[in-house]
Structure 1
Amino acid sequence: MKKAVIYASTTGNTEAMANAVAEGVKESGAELVFAQASEADAAEVASCDVIILGSPAMGDEVLEDSMEDFYAGLEPSLSSKKVAVFGSYDWGDGQWLRTWTERLSAAGAVVLNGEGLKAQLTPDEAALAECKELGKIS
Structure 2
Amino acid sequence: MSKAAVIYWSQTGNTEQMATAIAEGIREGGMECDLLNVADTNAGAAAGYDKIALGCPAMGAEVLEEAEFDPFFTELENRLAGRKVALFGSYGWGDGQWMRDWVQRTNDANANIYTDEGLMINETPDEDGLAKCREFGKGFAAY
1:62 partner SS: coil
What CA deviation, in whole Å up to 9, does each residue of 1:24-71 have, x standing for no partner?
111122111221112213222212221100001000000012110110
Identity %: 50
What CA deviation, in whole Å up to 9, does each residue of 1:103-137 have, x standing for no partner?
00101111112111001100111211111112121
Match for residue 25 of structure 2? 24
Match for residue 61 of structure 1? 62
Superposition pairs of residues 42-53 of structure 1, within 5 angstroms: 42-53=43-54
TM-score (norm 1): 0.95
Match for residue 96 of structure 1? 98
Superposition pairs of residues 1-138 of structure 1, within 5 angstroms: 1-65=2-66, 66-136=68-138, 137=140, 138=143
Q: Is the 8 Å Cα contact of residues 14 and 56 (structure 1) preserved in structure 2?
A: yes
Bigger drift between 85-94 and 123-132 goes to 123-132
2:61 partner SS: coil
1:16 partner SS: helix
How many Å apart are 1:21 and its aligned residue? 0.5
How many Å apart are 1:72 and its aligned residue? 0.9
Q: Is the 8 Å Cα contact of residues 7 and 18 (structure 1) preserved in structure 2?
A: yes
**Aligned length, in residue pairs:** 138
Structure 1 alignment gaps of length 5 or more = none
Structure 2 alignment gaps of length 5 or more = none
Q: Is the 8 Å Cα contact of residues 55 and 87 (structure 1) preserved in structure 2?
A: yes
TM-score (norm 2): 0.92
Alpha-carbon distance in 1 for matches of 2:75, 2:26? 24
Structure 2 letter corresponding to 1:64? E
Q: Is the 8 Å Cα contact of residues 61 and 94 (structure 1) preserved in structure 2?
A: yes
Bigger drift between 33-42 and 73-82 goes to 33-42
